[in-house]
Each structure stands twice: as structure tokens, then as C-alpha cells.
Amino acid sequence: MALAQEREAKVERLEVRLTPSIKSLLTHAAQLRHTTLTEFLVSSAVRAAEDVLVSPRVFEVNTEAGWNTLMGILNDPDQAKPNPELVALLRGRTQGG
């Protein structure tokens, strides 16, 4: 969790309803991490939220050809032709919806 978030006053509440088995599972996991259930839930939820928010912005180039293409675009962006479907995806919408 970011330092600024840790220093921020904790004034908001969040309530959840759980089955006994899920609460037991989460409690056991918190104990293994030597933390409280609340701290475990908050840190896990923050990490998951950060992953969701970052994942659309992170992509992987796993072939040499893909890497070379990416480097070519970055080195000479004027030569790259935009792909309409990719542009729509990056803007958060698709042609179908």
C-alpha cells in the first residue's frame, strides 16, 4: 500500500457478509501472514484493485518479431498506421458495444 494511503485517516467503513467457511479460510490466511483479518482483507483487496487498474495498461511482447515491431513503432511513430480496433479498445469501447 502506498505511504500516502497509509497516512490517510481511516474514516470509511466497509461491511461484508461471508459464509462461515469463507471467514474461516480468510482468518486462517491472515494468521499465516501474522496480521489481523481486517489488515489482510484490505491489503489483499488493494492489491487486487491495483492489478485490475494496471492490467489494461500492461502488455507483454513475447517474441523477437513482436519486440522488433514494437521498437520500430517507438523509434518512428509517424510510420505506424493506427489499427481502428486497437484504437477503440484503448479508448475503452469496441465496435460491437
Q: What is the pLDDT of residues 32-90, one digit of tens each?
A: 999 999 999 999 999 999 988 887 666 778 899 989 888 888 888 777 777 788 788 88
The reported pLDDT for the residue numbered 60 is 78
> Which domain does 75 fall in, by range?
59-90
Cell of 28: 486462517
The reported pLDDT for the residue numbered 1 is 47
Give the C-alpha separation, 48 to 51, whole Å. 5
Which of the pair, 95 or 78, is modelled with greater confidence? Answer: 78
Give the C-alpha separation, 1 to 47, whole Å. 8
Query: 66 and 40 in one domain?
Result: no
- DSSP 3-state of 2: coil
Which of the pair, 70 or 25, is modelled with greater confidence? Answer: 25
The reported pLDDT for the residue numbered 96 is 53
* 2 pLDDT above the threshold of 60: no
67 lies in a domain? yes
Closest CA to 47 of 33, 61, 28: 33
Query: 66 and 49 in one domain?
Result: no
Closest CA to 41 of 72, 5, 15: 15
In this structure, is the dihedral angle defined by the CA atoms of residues 42, 44, 46 and 48, taken in order, positive or negative?
negative
Q: Other C-beta atoms within 10 Å of 43: how many?
A: 14
> How many structural domains is the chain composed of?
2
Query: 75 and 48 in one domain?
Result: no
Query: 52 and 26 in one domain?
Result: yes
